[in-house]
């Protein structure tokens, strides 16, 4: 098998889909990109520029855009699905008649489906029953990739062929593709970090400092790890690019759409106004609701997700929520070293006047 892929399909005409399509074309593949808007497709083919989502960057002319699914998928060895989570299953169903079992299907989407709390690669698996399924996730702001800034991502799949072919299709001198076999952990990390990016944007708008941002990101990582463990996932994955790596970038950059929604909320906009002003999808808004509800259902302690939910959906002012969170339980730093239950037990003993026992904890 040669190193180079001949045909790559990208479903989705947004900024990330466009950036990845251009990399695959730079690497020598003929790339077909599916988007639903025929006028935008024609303009991309004419001007080699996606004026709606990445107006300032040239697209490799070997990317051909089309709203014809059959044309886009014919002969594609790799199919990248870059469609927001709320439309993901619908678009996969539209693609289904033209998909072939030998094709490699990879989700790039960092979101969760409400029904069944499904991640996108699980939808790919359910809808197709194919075996070459994977995800890519990591600190990957599309605009920076389009600028050819040095960037790394993770391809995660339990199928070695999928990992290798994605590394071949997308790896280049400015885009490095690391491999993982923890598909669920990598995909969950990408979805969860969006919640905390909203919180970080909000904190920045409220004038909070770098200590605060560092606290927020670190406690976010603890919360993500706790949720992962409760769902049987490996929290070690969150030490990598798709966990802490993506958390850092989205909690620090105003290029992140989730961060921008949070910032607008911190400035006093309503959620509807913040989302409308963005004009693109911020997956975290929906993810906060789903994760907060799941955490409650499963008894997972997630004070940040809970607090953010109350700000977004129950009208609690952001500054008031920050104060409440600071008055919450003072818990363990790293729960894998000192379990949270041990800290709580020690607190109860001291409060009951049993300090000797507390010292032994
Ligand atoms: N933009 C980034 O920096 C970035 C980076 C990494 C991952 N992602 C993830 O990739 C996913 C896609 O992101 P993006 O930035 O390319 O998308 P985007 O939000 O810029 O645009 C999404 C694309 O999907 C299309 N779309 C939306 N609903 C549709 C429907 N019902 N039918 C057909 N097409 C529909 C839109 O028209 C648009 O072309 C996101 O969910 C995000 O989590 C984005
Ligand atoms: O713009 P966002 O907030 O969807 O974030 C984009 C990517 O997920 C960053 O890795």
Residue 110 has pLDDT above 50, yes or no: yes
Q: Tell me, what's the pLDDT at 361?
A: 46
Mean pLDDT of 224-248: 95
Which band of pLDDT confidence, cut at 50, 70 and 90, is reported for residue 321? Answer: confident
Residue 140 lies inside a defined structural domain of this protein? yes
Residue ranges of the binding site: 12-17, 36, 53, 110, 138, 142, 193, 246, 256-258, 281, 283
> Which among 181, 208, 225 is the end of a domain?
181
Residue position matching structure tokens 């790039």: 108
* C-alpha torsion angle, residues 295, 286, 252, 192 (rounded to 10): 40
Q: Does residue 175 share a domain with residue 31?
A: yes
Residue 57 has pLDDT above 70, yes or no: yes
Residue 122 lies inside a defined structural domain of this protein? yes
Q: Is 14 helix (H, G, I), strand (E, B) or coil?
A: coil
Best residue among 14, 110, 192 to mutate for probing ligand 1's pocket (most ligand atoms within 8 Å of CB) is 14
Mean pLDDT of 268-280: 93
Mean pLDDT of 67-95: 98
Name the catalytic one among 193, 269, 294, 345. 193
Residue 348 lies inside a defined structural domain of this protein? no
Q: Does residue 205 share a domain with residue 104?
A: no
Secondary structure (H, E, C), 28-72: CCEEEEECCCHHHHHHHHHHCEECCCEEEEECCCCEEEECCHHHH
Residue 360 has pLDDT above 90, yes or no: no
Angle at alpha carbon of residue 351, lines to 346 and 354, rounded to 5°: 70
Q: Does residue 226 share a domain with residue 97?
A: no
- Into how many domains does the chain fold? 2
The CATH number assigned to the domain holding 122 equals: 3.40.50.720
Name which of 203-207, 217-221, 278-282, 303-307 the model is least confident about: 278-282
Q: Tell me, what's the pLDDT at 61?
A: 97
Which of the 8 DSSP states describes residue 149? -
Q: Does residue 207 share a domain with residue 175?
A: no
Report how far ligand 2's centroid is from the alpha carbon of 74 (Å): 30
Could you give the percent of the chain with pLDDT greater than 70?
98
Q: Could you count the other beta carbons within 10 Å of the beta carbon of residue 236?
A: 13
Residue 2 has pLDDT above 70, yes or no: no
152 bridge partner residues: 176
* 361/138: higher pLDDT: 138
Mean pLDDT of the chain: 95
Q: Tell me, what's the pLDDT at 73?
A: 98
Cα-based distances in Å from 238 to 105, 189, 245, 291, 354: 23, 6, 8, 17, 38
Ligand that lies nearest to the alpha carbon of residue 147, given by its number in the listed order:
1
For residues 321 and 292, is the Cβ–Cβ distance under 8 A?
no
Ligand that lies nearest to the alpha carbon of residue 195, given by its number in the listed order:
2
Show Cβ contacts of residue 175 under 8 Å, excluding neighbours closer than 6 positions: 23, 145, 151, 152, 153
Q: Does residue 230 share a domain with residue 177?
A: no
Mean pLDDT of 302-330: 90
Backbone angle region of 75, left / alpha / beta, with phi > 0 → left and psi within -120 to 50 → alpha: left
Q: Does residue 319 share a domain with residue 174?
A: no
Report how far ligand 1's centroid is from the alpha carbon of 307 (Å): 27
Whether 197 lines ligand 2, by a CB cut-off of 6 Å, is yes
Structure tokens at 216: 């927020």
Could you give the percent of the chain with pLDDT greater than 90?
88
Q: Does residue 159 share a domain with residue 280?
A: no
Q: Can 118 be counted among the known catalytic residues?
A: no
Best residue among 82, 83, 108, 110 to mutate for probing ligand 2's pocket (most ligand atoms within 8 Å of CB) is 110
Residue 346 lies inside a defined structural domain of this protein? no
Which band of pLDDT confidence, cut at 50, 70 and 90, is reported for residue 358? Answer: low
> How far is the C-alpha of 157 from the C-alpha of 155, rounded, in Å?
7
Show Cβ contacts of residue 287 under 8 Å, excluding neighbours closer than 6 positions: 111, 112, 191, 192, 194, 195
The CATH number assigned to the domain holding 286 equals: 1.10.1040.10
Q: Does residue 269 share a domain with residue 167?
A: no
What are the φ and ψ backbone dihedral angles of 184, each rounded to 5 degrees? -65, -45
Residue 209 has pLDDT above 60, yes or no: yes
> Residue 21's domain spans which residues?
7-181
């Amino acid at each position: 098998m040669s190193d180079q892929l001949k045909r790559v399909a990208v479903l989705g005409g947004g900024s990330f889909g466009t950036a990845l399509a251009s990399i695959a074309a730079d690497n020598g593949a003929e790339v077909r990109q599916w988007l639903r808007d025929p006028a935008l497709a024609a303009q991309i083919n004419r001007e080699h520029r996606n004026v709606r989502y990445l107006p300032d960057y040239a697209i490799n002319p070997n990317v051909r855009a089309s709203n014809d699914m059959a044309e886009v998928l014919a002969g594609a060895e790799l199919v990248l699905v870059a469609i927001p989570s709320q439309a993901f299953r619908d678009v996969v169903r539209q693609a289904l008649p033209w998909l072939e079992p030998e094709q490699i299907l990879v989700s790039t989407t960092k979101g969760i489906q409400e029904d069944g709390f499904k991640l996108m690669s699980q939808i790919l698996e359910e809808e197709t029953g194919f075996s070459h399924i994977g995800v890519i996730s990591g600190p990957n702001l599309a605009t920076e990739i389009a600028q050819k800034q040095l960037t790394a991502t993770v391809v995660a799949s339990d199928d070695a062929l999928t990992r290798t072919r994605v590394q071949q299709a997308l790896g280049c001198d400015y885009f490095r593709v690391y491999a993982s076999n923890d598909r669920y952990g990598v995909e969950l990390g990408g979805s969860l970090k969006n919640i905390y990016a909203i919180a970080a944007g909000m904190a920045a708008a409220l004038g909070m400092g770098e200590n605060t941002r560092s606290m927020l990101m670190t406690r976010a990582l603890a919360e993500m790890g706790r949720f992962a463990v409760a769902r049987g996932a490996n929290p070690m994955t969150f030490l990598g690019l798709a966990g802490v790596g993506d958390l850092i970038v989205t909690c620090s950059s105003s290029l992140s759409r989730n961060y921008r929604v949070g910032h607008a909320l911190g400035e006093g906009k309503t959620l509807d106004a913040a989302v409308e002003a963005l004009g693109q999808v911020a997956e975290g808004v929906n993810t906060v609701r789903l994760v907060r509800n799941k955490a409650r259902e499963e008894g997972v302690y997630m004070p940040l997700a809970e607090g953010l939910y109350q700000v977004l959906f129950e009208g609690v002012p952001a500054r008031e929520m920050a104060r409440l969170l600071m008055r919450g339980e003072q818990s363990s730093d790293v729960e894998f070293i000192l379990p949270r239950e041990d800290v709580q037990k020690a607190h109860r003993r001291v409060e009951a006047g049993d300090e000797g026992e507390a010292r032994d904890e």
